[in-house]
Each structure stands twice: as structure tokens, then as C-alpha cells.
Chains A and B, each alone.
Chain A
């Protein structure tokens, strides 16, 4: 199907909204829009970060997921207790594939699940005693942990436990940081508030820890990678580029990150933010308190990488600027070969995305480098500042959907007929059964990294492998095929 005009896209939205009852229709209409690059502020065309409607299937997570799963979880040398019933932590355990180096269970704890496993009696009598007991146990069993965080699940806020008091006392006893995080799942409308709460907890309990400690020798080239969760090794693929251009990366937030790196972050010269949504809060705070500037960058696809490397270098002296050019030059042959190999196989293919955080806009450039086009995009939990940043990246008259419902997404896909969908695991099998190639773009479908030049090669291979997989032609049962197609197949064979 060729590209849709503005009118066609608008008509499609209206058609999809048709089935809803009046109030639901009114509400959902505000979350769906046709992109118009001339609009400066997204609040004029889209509403976001609102409570999802009861009765529709949405794809959002909870505040606990935002704090434990995204921001705190990857800090590898701390132990993160999922405080409350066992399920919240166990069913999300290690699902995000935040890679790290270390010996799990000895000095790193990323893929383990620690929980206070609440039972009825803990709900009735309170869980504070249990919490302090398990922290003592943790200290005995895993003495190399550098600190503990308490990630509250829903019941904690409901029964009114005083985890802050327990944390303070235990912190004194253990002589290690113990961070209480009030990220109960019911707070906010999605995982987004969990990111914010987690950022605030970092601000209040970690960031100032080494303000008076001058033992860390900083250089004029110290930067940090903020908002890269090292999914499939993303942060590593990014870090090498920054280091090759002459910068020194002193902290990774939070993929493969450590407590010490977080505490030393205020000593950086520049904070580089990949995922704006989940970590802009702490970056703004550091700018205000420590005067560290921050900037967003995008390491998906060679065009955006080169742009970002140059923009980063512009904040430093000539040595770094030359470094950036040298890095771009060094990888040129490599990424050109990738494009030469895959572009002919992928050119003109149309993609629909529905992810979270930064990807609905950040990966567009990588697809375009391969000659593909993103015709629809949307976020699970974005705010309007994310859409502000998205409007410019997307083509005119493309679809934008916020907190899309299962029904809307399926209908859009049926009409738009994209060649590829990039979304989450809950959407994957529905669309695959509809015969549409699908990539799970939250944790790269067990692949990755996708960041940096190294990542781009893997990205291109994965997209090719998915779209041009022969299985898509075999989804129709032989007896439902029409005469013609089976004749054609016979003739071809």
C-alpha cells in the first residue's frame, strides 16, 4: 500500500474510534493524531501521560516497574529488594537483559531476585521487622554488596509501613547506603512516575554522598552516559565511541553501573542523556546543584551517530572535535558496507513502532539509513515533551498514537499494512499470527546491542532477518489459498 495522505490518516483514526462509546471516544480521540511537522508544541495535537481508560487493553507498566525494572535494577553492585509479595519481582526478573560484568551472587546481583515475600501476617502486622531482618541476612549472605535499595510494591503504601525509618537505622548498622524508594505500583498512571520517583531517590539518598570526598581525580574530558540501560550491551557499544574520540566515561546510568559511579557523577563535565524520559529529572537536578550541563544524543544509525558525536564534540576543545571526525571516519567503511548489503533488501519497507522511553523517535534515523520509513509511532508512557521531540522526526501525515489500546493498534495495522512492527512482547504474537513481521523492540528480541556503529550492523541484520524471513509466505493454510495462488506456486516450483 502506498503512503497515506493526511485526509486518509484522519479518516482512519475516525473509523477506528467509531466502535467506542461516546465518552471513551472523546477521550481516545485526544491521544491519536496525524503528524504535522509545522506544529511546535505537541500539546496542540496530542494528550499524553493520562490515566488509561478502564476496559481497554493497554500496554503500560507500573511505577514499581519504572523504578526497580528500569532505573535502579541495573545498578549491579547493590541489592534491590522487591519489598512486598513475591510476584512483582519474580515475573519481571532479568527480563530486560541489562548486561553487566561481574560474578552474579558474589559482587554483582543484577539477574537475581530479592524479595521480602509478603504473607498475610505481614500485611496485617506490618513488614518493617521483616525488612530489617532480611537486610541483615543479605549482609551475611552477600557481604560484597555495596548497598541496598528497598523497592516498594503496592501493599507497602497501603499498610503504611515506615520503610524510611528502617532504611536509616539499617544504613547505620551496616555502614552502607540503604535507599527506601516509594515506588508503589499504584502511583501515577504508568511506569513513568516510577522513573521520576527513582530519580528523586537517587537525588536524596545517593548523589550527594561524595560531595566532600576529593579523592576522585577528574579530568576536563569526563562525561557520563545517562539513561542507557545496556540492553544487550548497548551502553558498551556507545561507550567505546565516546572513549575513542578522547572522552572519559566516568559513569554509566544505570546499565552495568555501580553505586560508586553514581556517587561520582557530580564530578563530570557533561552529562550525556540517551533516554530523556527516564532520567531527565536527575540531569536537571545536577545542572542546578552542580552546574553540570546535559545534552541529549542519539546513537541509533550512522546518520544520527555522526550528528550526535559532532554535537558532543562541540562542547569540548579541538582535540575532541578531531577525535569525533576520526571516529566517524574509522567506522565509515564498516557502516557503508552494512548499508550496501541491507539497503537493497529493505528499501521502501514501512515500519510501525509502539515502544516506550526514547525509541519511538530515536530509532527512526536508523530505519531511514536503511531506506525504510516509519509510518506510525507511539509511546506507552510519554509526556508532552517527548512528543515535542517526536513531531520533527516523523514524516508529515504519519500516525502518532499515545498509550494505544490493543484494539486500536490492531486496526491501525490492518489498514496501514506495514512491512514490520516494532513493539513489545505482548503485541508480538498477535501480529505474527496476522502474518506481519515483528521485532520486539524493548529488549531487542534477545539480540543487541543496537546502539553505536557496532549495534547498527546487528540492527540491520535483525531487521533483514525478520522482514525477509521466508516463513511469512507460509502462514496461510494450503486449503484456504485461492486457486490462483496455488497454481502460481505449482508453476513456480
Chain B
């Protein structure tokens, strides 16, 4: 269950940053991304997938969340 900081890149994309691993990747898709909720399955640019129970209302970024590795 890595603790992940999500922040916005200059290009407006979301970045997925795992401090422990110095891994910073773009998020390519988020399962649930609406005005009501944010979360579900999250896929990164390199193809790896993570899961978080949808949060509602959507959090404001940057923020630190705990994800599950899929």
C-alpha cells in the first residue's frame, strides 16, 4: 500500500509520485473522475495499475493518498 502524492504537472496532467521509490509517473487514466468522485483503478503511463476506493467529493491536488498495487 504505497503512500502516493498526486500533483498536477505543468501540462495539467496528474503526476503519481511515490517518495519511497522516487518514482514519478504521469497518470494516463482514472476509472472514476467526475464532479462527484475520484478514484477507482488508476493507470500510469508505464502501464502499471493502482487502486483506491473512490473519494467523494474529489480531493484537491496536491495531496497524499494510499493506493493499492494491482
A interface residues with partner B (beta carbon < 8 Å):
41, 49, 281, 284, 287-288, 295, 383-385, 388
A352 to chain B: closest CB distance in Å? 25
Asked whether A385 lies within 8 Å of B24 as measured between CB atoms, the reply is yes
B15 to chain A: closest CB distance in Å? 10
List 12 other contacts, CB 8 Å, given A284-B7, A287-B7, A383-B22.
Answer: A41-B46, A49-B22, A281-B19, A284-B5, A284-B17, A284-B19, A288-B5, A288-B63, A384-B22, A384-B23, A385-B22, A385-B23
> Chain B: interface residue count, which band?
10 to 19
A193 to chain B: closest CB distance in Å? 11
B58 within 8 Å of A (CB atoms): no
4 closest A-B pairs by beta carbon, nearest first, are A383-B22, A288-B62, A385-B22, A287-B62
* 11 contacts across the A-B interface (CB closer than 8 A): A41-B46, A49-B22, A284-B17, A284-B19, A284-B62, A287-B7, A288-B62, A383-B22, A384-B22, A384-B23, A388-B24
- Considering only residues 14-70 of chain B, those with a C-beta below 8 Å from chain A are 17, 19, 22-24, 46, 62-64
B16 to chain A: closest CB distance in Å? 13
Alpha-carbon distance A284/B8, docked complex (angstroms): 11
What B residues does A281 contact at CB under 8 A? 19
Nearest A residue to B22 by beta-carbon distance? Answer: A383
B67 to chain A: closest CB distance in Å? 16
What B residues does A41 contact at CB under 8 A? 46
Asked whether A288 lies within 8 Å of B24 as measured between CB atoms, the reply is no
What A residues does B23 contact at CB under 8 A? 384-385
B interface residues with partner A (beta carbon < 8 Å):
5, 7, 10, 17, 19, 22-24, 46, 62-64
Alpha-carbon distance A119/B30, docked complex (angstroms): 58
Nearest B residue to A277 by beta-carbon distance? Answer: B22
What B residues does A288 contact at CB under 8 A? 5, 7, 62-64
Nearest A residue to B7 by beta-carbon distance? Answer: A287
Nearest B residue to A284 by beta-carbon distance? Answer: B5
Nearest B residue to A294 by beta-carbon distance? Answer: B7
Nearest A residue to B24 by beta-carbon distance? Answer: A385
What B residues does A49 contact at CB under 8 A? 22
A1 to chain B: closest CB distance in Å? 35
A321 to chain B: closest CB distance in Å? 17
B17 to chain A: closest CB distance in Å? 7
What B residues does A295 contact at CB under 8 A? 10
B21 to chain A: closest CB distance in Å? 8
What A residues does B10 contact at CB under 8 A? 295
Alpha-carbon distance A41/B26, docked complex (angstroms): 12
Nearest A residue to B60 by beta-carbon distance? Answer: A291
What A residues does B5 contact at CB under 8 A? 284, 288
Alpha-carbon distance A287/B24, docked complex (angstroms): 16
Nearest A residue to B19 by beta-carbon distance? Answer: A281
A6 to chain B: closest CB distance in Å? 24
What A residues does B64 contact at CB under 8 A? 288
Alpha-carbon distance A34/B60, docked complex (angstroms): 41
Nearest B residue to A192 by beta-carbon distance? Answer: B22
What A residues does B24 contact at CB under 8 A? 385, 388
Alpha-carbon distance A209/B36, docked complex (angstroms): 36
Nearest B residue to A387 by beta-carbon distance? Answer: B22
What A residues does B22 contact at CB under 8 A? 49, 383-385
Nearest B residue to A287 by beta-carbon distance? Answer: B62
Nearest A residue to B6 by beta-carbon distance? Answer: A288
Nearest B residue to A49 by beta-carbon distance? Answer: B22
Alpha-carbon distance A41/B46, docked complex (angstroms): 9
Alpha-carbon distance A388/B15, docked complex (angstroms): 15
B30 to chain A: closest CB distance in Å? 19
- The residue among B5, B22, B46 with the most chain A CB atoms within 10 A of its own CB is B22
A290 to chain B: closest CB distance in Å? 11
A461 to chain B: closest CB distance in Å? 36
Alpha-carbon distance A388/B46, docked complex (angstroms): 14
What A residues does B17 contact at CB under 8 A? 284
What A residues does B63 contact at CB under 8 A? 288
Alpha-carbon distance A385/B7, docked complex (angstroms): 16
Alpha-carbon distance A41/B7, docked complex (angstroms): 19
What A residues does B46 contact at CB under 8 A? 41
Alpha-carbon distance A84/B10, docked complex (angstroms): 44
Nearest B residue to A289 by beta-carbon distance? Answer: B62
B13 to chain A: closest CB distance in Å? 14
A489 to chain B: closest CB distance in Å? 54
Alpha-carbon distance A416/B5, docked complex (angstroms): 42
What A residues does B19 contact at CB under 8 A? 281, 284
Nearest B residue to A385 by beta-carbon distance? Answer: B22
Alpha-carbon distance A213/B17, docked complex (angstroms): 32
Alpha-carbon distance A334/B19, docked complex (angstroms): 42
Nearest B residue to A196 by beta-carbon distance? Answer: B19
A261 to chain B: closest CB distance in Å? 23
What B residues does A284 contact at CB under 8 A? 5, 7, 17, 19, 62
